[in-house]
């Protein structure tokens, strides 16, 4: 019989309840405190040690000592972005909580952490985003916020999460017709839309940003495009929308587009 994974959403909710009911209940979440308080003192048969050092080949890894139920989480201190290090910590914790019955080693680079086509990596990302950004706080504090990049940055600041992780969590929780698109060089890398958002003509990996969109205009002109702009039915055949852009200047060349359909 094939080994099964543990539901990442349920595991994140369980730890969130422990943190909010019996822990400090402070946010941004203190992951080290969570591990020492909610995991290491629990009835787990598995042990977890967190080791931060310099590594050349990965950003985070989870390894089981052969023949034991002892695990070591390795976190690369060379990663300069503190929010990325933090998300990697939560991602590896997701592997520990949900996938430790599947194999003895997990190793993650920037590419695997952003691979939304890999089921195991996607589950670890879901766990991380649900744990770091609980639904009750996100809805309570940002429910009525206009969906634009300034809101996205505010969410990232509140929970000390990357813009991509913040957008993924917010859009999935929202009942409004929202979407978020990550592109580079005018080509879509990945996208997410809320359950109420309509069909999108440009949504999948490898598709071009649609002609007439604020996104493609900003890319072609080199404009930041942070201010929200109304556009015609370019993302959907009939629905107009509002767009707001953010360009990642860290060297990766990512362009983030927040979309809200009218």
Buried b (16+ CB within 10 A) or exposed e, 217-239: bbbeeeeebbebbebebbbbeeb
Determine the longest span between alpha carbons in the chain, in angstroms: 61
Q: Is the pLDDT of residue 41 over 90?
A: no
CB 220 within 8 A of CB 213: no
- CA dist 50 and 74 (Å) reads 6
Report the predicted TM-score, pTM, of the whole model to 2 decimal places: 0.89
pLDDT tens, residue by residue, 13-32: 999 999 999 889 999 999 99
Q: Is the pLDDT of residue 239 over 90?
A: yes
Query: What rounded mean pLDDT belongs to the chain?
Result: 92
pLDDT tens, residue by residue, 142-175: 998 999 999 999 999 999 999 999 999 999 999 9
Q: What's residue 202's pLDDT? A: 97
Specify whether domain 136-261 bears CATH 3.30.1490: no
118 vs 235, residue with greater confidence:
235
Q: What's residue 3's pLDDT? A: 59
pLDDT tens, residue by residue, 65-98: 998 989 999 999 999 999 999 999 999 999 999 9
Q: Phi/psi zone of residue 229: left (φ > 0), alpha (ψ -120 to 50 degrees), beta?
A: beta
Q: How much of the chain exceeds pLDDT 70, in percent? A: 96
Mean pLDDT of 56-73: 94
Domain ranges across the chain: 8-132, 136-261
CATH architecture under which domain 8-132 falls: Orthogonal Bundle (1.10)
């Amino acid at each position: 019989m094939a080994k099964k994974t543990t539901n990442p959403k349920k595991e994140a909710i369980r730890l969130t309840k422990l943190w909010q009911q019996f822990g400090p209940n402070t946010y941004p979440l203190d992951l080290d405190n969570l591990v020492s308080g909610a995991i290491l003192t629990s009835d787990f048969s598995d042990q977890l040690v967190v080791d931060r050092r310099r590594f050349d080949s990965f950003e985070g890894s989870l390894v089981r000592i052969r023949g034991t139920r002892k695990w070591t989480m390795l976190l690369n201190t060379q990663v300069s972005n503190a929010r990325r290090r933090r998300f990697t910590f939560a991602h590896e914790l997701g592997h520990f909580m949900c996938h430790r019955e599947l194999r003895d080693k997990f190793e993650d680079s920037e590419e695997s952490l952003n691979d939304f086509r890999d089921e195991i990596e996607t589950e670890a990302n879901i766990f991380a985003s649900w744990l770091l950004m609980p639904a009750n706080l996100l809805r309570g504090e940002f429910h009525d916020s206009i969906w634009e990049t300034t809101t996205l940055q505010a969410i990232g600041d509140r929970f000390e999460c990357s813009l991509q992780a913040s957008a993924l969590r917010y859009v999935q929780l929202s009942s409004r017709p929202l979407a978020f698109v990550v592109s580079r060089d005018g080509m879509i890398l990945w996208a997410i839309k809320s359950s109420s958002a309509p069909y999108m003509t440009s949504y999948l990996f490898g598709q071009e940003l649609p002609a007439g969109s604020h996104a493609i205009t900003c890319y072609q002109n080199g404009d930041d495009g942070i201010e929200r702009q109304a556009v015609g039915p370019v993302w959907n055949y009939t629905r107009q929308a509002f767009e707001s852009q953010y360009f990642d200047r860290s060297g990766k060349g990512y362009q983030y587009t927040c979309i809200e359909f009218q």
